[in-house]
Structure 1
Amino acid sequence: MKKYLLKNILLAVIGLVSVAANATVKLPSFFTDNMVLQQKSTVPFWGESNQQSVSVTSSWDKKTYKAAVVNGKWNVVLKTPAYGGPYTIAINDGEVKTLQNILIGEVWLCSGQSNMEMPLEGWGKIENYKEEIANANYPEIRLLQAEHIESTLPLNILKVQHNGWNVCDSKNIADFSATAYFFARKIYKEKKIPIGLIHSSWGGTLIEAWTSSGALSTIHDFDAQIEAMKSESSRETLEKKYNADLAVWEKHLANADKGYQNEKVIWASVGFDDASWKTMKVPSFFDSNGLGNFDGIVWFRKKVAIADNSKDFTLSYFADDDDMIWVNGNYVGETKGYNVERHYTIPSKYLKKGENVITIRVYDGAGNGGIYGEENIALKSDKEIISLAGDWKYNIGADSKDLPARPYLAQGQNRPSAIYNAMIAPLADYKIKGVIWYQGESNAERAFQYQKLFPLLINDWRTQFKDKNLPFFFVQLANYKQQKQEPGDSDWAELREAQFMALKLPNTGMAVTTDIGNGEDIHPKNKQDVGGRLANIALAKVYNTKIDYSGPLYKSFKIENNTIVLDFDFKTEIKAKEGMLKGFSIAGADQKFYWAEAKIVNGKVIVYAQNVPNPAAVRYNWADNPDGNLTNASGLPASSFRTDNWKGITQEKK
């Protein structure tokens, strides 16, 4: 009997050891070493296990939380103290997994499109990037980088880079969001609170892609596309029509491109006479080199001398948006995407000793266009490096103005809700302090629609993160494109207006950046001030710091005889930044705007123009690339605005 009992006990022990050995607790990708958890909160913490129960022990309070495993999943709610650390969390389901170097602090979600995504180095190369990277030693700032993923349905798994959270240092910061980093750095320097940055953004994306299908279904602007994501037959119908329309448009484009004749490339041939072509510096954007705001096809040609053609050459550069390349009339390759670095190999068989001709065809659909990147663009082989920087011959192949509008169908990541499903939904239970957002360039052509899309997204995220007052601070579009001599319409101004209107929502804040953009670059390099201005808003609104965080914001107007009197919020020491006030235009009932004179009297701005005796409306900085100078004690710029509600150029676009 004793032997039998002893045998059973031994088998049971062996069984327990076997089960423990097979225990495999799994955690979401954002629960890793080095993570930051939100301070003074009840923080959901969850995972998977093949055991019956799990216990979680937090070192800051030495408490153990127990959870039953149901259908392979478990969850607990941790109580976090005021900021501090480092701490550990031990998860035990028979085998112990311990997360190390955890900080308790403030977690911010950083999202948007390319200007939020823009890294310190990589394709971004912000101002002073080498120095900024070298000095980025902030062990209490932590970084989590989401991968670019899209999905037709909400996911519960977030795909991340670099195995999860990383400590902010020179090695880890180079490919991280510059705006997010400078935001965190300023708050950390002021408050010495650990900061966790979750960076989930994607260049060239639309706001509706970041919004849940449930929220979008309430406005009905995207019903067909949302249905197409659910239904194979609906998707096929939409795609079939789009593909047919696109084929027709591409035929128009090909027929319009002077670089082709009878579907044969003529402008890439060695013997083609380009003597009548103009010259342009490369690398550069052609919008700022004589082709302001041009969209369409531009061909570039350059003759280069090669001493040794026995080896293959390589050539790397960026192009905006799409490019094709030929060498001595031989097709080498093509690439699509404005932020994708090209890496072409030119076979030695295409080359000859002496003079060779390189031809690059660039198609630009919107915004900047051209061949851009490092100044040292060069052909390289094992034996030679030949600089290609400098003058290239160029000619216009086709102007988009001469073509019908290109058909559009949101695909991939830009389908409504597609990025939300994969890059936001998995984070919904991760406790965060707030959101910083920089997006809108891609929606500028539908700026009027953005008036409802932007607050829709803000309220949607507040619902998903279960915080109806979640701080949401955003960047208003910077100045960009060619400056206009006369006042006129602007879709970028209309988009800024939509962003301004979102301030009606509680606990929002807007960083105005029309003084630190770059008319020649949709990705301005000064991200230090962008992140700093967002941080000022957070310091004032979240961290109770007395700090200026806004320039003047338009409040109301009144017509007095032949003048219009404007009143503002944030008008302490309202003034011109330098010289006389500029950037104001005025119109009568005919809706024709003229540049106006403006002066400040008793804290208000009085606007008038001699040729508008009966004024009806005033606009300020109403342009793609404005140069107004209204400010206040903060030195920060006033937001653009208009006093009228006349129909804009984007009102009918959806």
Structure 2
Amino acid sequence: MRPRLLCLFLLLAALLRADLACPPIFGDHMVLQRDLPVAVWGTAEPAATVTVRFADQEKATTTDASGRWLVRLDALPASADPRDLTISALNRESKIENLKFEDVLVGEVWFLSGQSNMEKQLGPRRGQQPTDGYEEELTRADCPPLRLFQGLHALKPKEGDILLEWRRCSAEALTRMEFSAAGYYFGRELVRELGVPVGLIHSSFGGTRIEAWMPPAAFASDPALRGLEKVPYDSWVKGVQATELWTERVTPYVPFTLRGFLWYQGEANVMNAEHLEYAVKMRALIASWRAAWGRPDAPFYFAQLAPFTYSRIKVWPKQLTPDSLPAVWEAQAAALDVPHTGLIPTTDLVGNVKDIHPTNKHDVGRRFARLALAETYGRKENAVQAPRFQTLRRPWFSQKLELTFTPAVGLRSRDGQPLTLFQIAGADRKFHPAEAVLKGGKVVVSSPAVPKPVAVRFAWDETANPNLVNPAGLPALPFRTDDWPLTLEVPKEAK
């Protein structure tokens, strides 16, 4: 029996026996979210009285006809003191059942998801290069206030894996769980900076499209998506279709109370030659996840896809052009119009553009953490938002174009060299390399080959590593000022 089906079978068996039970997300060593009402739920015999006790609170409810129950503890302050959470059920025959979860802390809880770059663990992974510096990092990985919950992996679990249970962060736990490296670095930074316990729930699946992580309601939320959940598609991972991972890898954790979400996904959608439709899917996924947890303003932070030579891969069903990755970069930036979202740049974190799994996950996790510290926790962090294109202006009779960015303060060249990867075009739509100069917080671009410029593209290259950065060294996001049609897939006759 496949592991995901086994998990569902065990939960169903407990329900049929009418045993007092909670989902696997509840367990020893877990972290409960501070400062928000905390959902606790499970099953017992129908019409039983269920009482939950924790931290001087006692909440009671009665199970429904199916034996389901849910209570919400009042908001709790952060606490690193280990305490017990106990649950009792009194049925109609006055039989009492009890559950106890030990070493429970209160702090910050985040849900991590996506495909293989979020899944990539701290250490070696079959078929991939190991994450940078993992051996040294494991020597200092013990961090009891950081608690990890690893969901099912994409592949069949190996003997000795620790899945579907909470563990204190340690070298052994990280190794046996194969826990997300980016997630680990994110959690360590939060513990260090906030001084409170942190719980991370990790549920990723390599090679999967965003549609697999969306509930049916997400597809109904936009006319451009309606019906797509019923259309089979070619999947990099066999058998994984729309809504399946939502059902199997997300809903088991709803409505466990948490602060927000980290998301690193999109490579599989690049392979499908997508453009702004990916932004539509992103908006729908964000809204549906927030709705499921009842947190309409929950922070949702996501990673820019890393540079990679998609157009040089010949074995995929679609032969992509060099525009395919920049097109999804454009879609990711477009999704930032959703409130309480943020995008961390990655164009400068890739040592090998022929490796779709970059090995520097330390800076990915740290950038997620600095973004959360500033935007979620109100810390005074320096320039955590990557510069984004804002406006284009052509002075009267000028052969130059002026670009503004937001945030604009402190823009500079990372290496002190002239700004790179700017292109300029006239009405003929032919782009030429451009000279780009910083003047008064603006970037002025020009080219002698384009006397009447109308459009600019920046870092519009699947291997881009531009040197325009903010004071914290975060690179500006790729963009284009035109809306000219893009060719994302090589025509079959040209292959």
TM-score bracket for this pair, using the shorter chain length = 0.7 to 0.9
Partner of residue 196 from structure 1, selected from 178, 191, 199: 199
1:49-105 CA distances to partner (integer Å, 9 max, x unpaired)?
Answer: 237534434342x22222222232222111231110312111122132211001111
* Residue-pair matches, total: 442
Partner of residue 145 from structure 1, selected from 144, 147, 150: 150
| Match in the other structure for 1:466 | 294
Unpaired runs of 5+ residues, structure 1, are: 1-21, 151-159, 229-237, 239-406
SS for the counterpart of 1:436 is strand
Asked if 1:40 corresponds to 2:35, the answer is yes
Is contact 1:32–1:99 with CA below 8 Å preserved after alignment? yes
| Match in the other structure for 2:381 | 547
Q: Which letter does structure 2 place at the counterpart of 1:108? A: W
User: How is 1:379-418 mapped onto 2 (pairs within 5 angstroms)?
Assistant: 408=234, 414-418=240-244
Partner of residue 570 from structure 1, selected from 403, 407, 410: 407
1:452-506 CA distances to partner (integer Å, 9 max, x unpaired)?
Answer: 111111111111111111100010111222899xxx9511111111111111111
1:634 is displaced (CA, Å) by 1.3
Whole-Å Cα distance in 2 between the matches of residues 483 and 574 of structure 1? 31
Q: Structure 1 650/435 Cα, relative in aligned 2: closer, same or farther at 3 Å? A: same
1:446 is displaced (CA, Å) by 1.0
1:557-599 CA distances to partner (integer Å, 9 max, x unpaired)?
Answer: 1012111100011222111111111110111111111111000
Asked if 1:68 corresponds to 2:73, the answer is no
SS for the counterpart of 2:281 is helix
SS for the counterpart of 2:394 is strand
1:48 is displaced (CA, Å) by 1.4
1:311-362 CA distances to partner (integer Å, 9 max, x unpaired)?
Answer: xxxxxxxxxxxxxxxxxxxxxxxxxxxxxxxxxxxxxxxxxxxxxxxxxxxx
Q: Percent identity?
A: 34
1:196 is displaced (CA, Å) by 0.7
Is contact 2:221–2:284 with CA below 8 Å preserved after alignment? no
1:451 is displaced (CA, Å) by 2.2
Whole-Å Cα distance in 2 between the matches of residues 63 and 601 of structure 1? 60
User: How is 1:241-260 mapped onto 2 (pairs within 5 angstroms)?
Assistant: none
| Match in the other structure for 1:14 | none
Q: Which letter does structure 1 place at the counterpart of 2:137? A: E
| Match in the other structure for 2:173 | 172
Whole-Å Cα distance in 2 between the matches of residues 632 and 556 of structure 1? 17
Whole-Å Cα distance in 2 between the matches of residues 619 and 88 of structure 1? 57
| Match in the other structure for 1:104 | 106
Q: Which letter does structure 2 place at the counterpart of 1:33? A: D
Whole-Å Cα distance in 2 between the matches of residues 438 and 564 of structure 1? 34
Q: Which letter does structure 2 place at the counterpart of 1:562? A: Q
More strand by percentage? 1
Q: Structure 1 437/31 Cα, relative in aligned 2: closer, same or farther at 3 Å? A: same
Is contact 1:80–1:104 with CA below 8 Å preserved after alignment? no
Q: Structure 1 639/648 Cα, relative in aligned 2: closer, same or farther at 3 Å? A: same
Q: Structure 1 35/584 Cα, relative in aligned 2: closer, same or farther at 3 Å? A: same
Is contact 1:55–1:64 with CA below 8 Å preserved after alignment? no
| Match in the other structure for 2:329 | 496
1:23 is displaced (CA, Å) by 8.3
1:162-220 CA distances to partner (integer Å, 9 max, x unpaired)?
Answer: 35111111111121000111111111111112111010111001011111112113446
| Match in the other structure for 2:276 | 448
Partner of residue 29 from structure 1, selected from 10, 20, 24: 24
Is contact 1:476–1:512 with CA below 8 Å preserved after alignment? yes
Whole-Å Cα distance in 2 between the matches of residues 519 and 528 of structure 1? 18
Whole-Å Cα distance in 1 between the matches of residues 154 and 348 of structure 2? 34
SS for the counterpart of 1:95 is strand
CA RMSD, Structure 1 to Structure 2 (Å): 2.5
SS for the counterpart of 1:414 is coil
User: How is 1:481-630 mapped onto 2 (pairs within 5 angstroms)?
Assistant: 481=309, 489-517=322-350, 518-548=352-382, 549-560=384-395, 561-578=398-415, 579-630=417-468
Q: Structure 1 66/482 Cα, relative in aligned 2: closer, same or farther at 3 Å? A: closer
Is contact 1:574–1:633 with CA below 8 Å preserved after alignment? yes
| Match in the other structure for 1:3 | none
Q: Which letter does structure 2 place at the counterpart of 1:438? A: Y
Is contact 2:211–2:229 with CA below 8 Å preserved after alignment? no
Runs of 4+ in 1 over 6 A off after TM superposition: none
1:237-294 CA distances to partner (integer Å, 9 max, x unpaired)?
Answer: x7xxxxxxxxxxxxxxxxxxxxxxxxxxxxxxxxxxxxxxxxxxxxxxxxxxxxxxxx
| Match in the other structure for 1:95 | 97
SS for the counterpart of 1:97 is strand
Unpaired runs of 5+ residues, structure 2, are: 1-16, 90-95, 156-160, 313-320
Q: Which letter does structure 1 place at the counterpart of 2:485? A: K
Higher-Rg member (1/2): 1
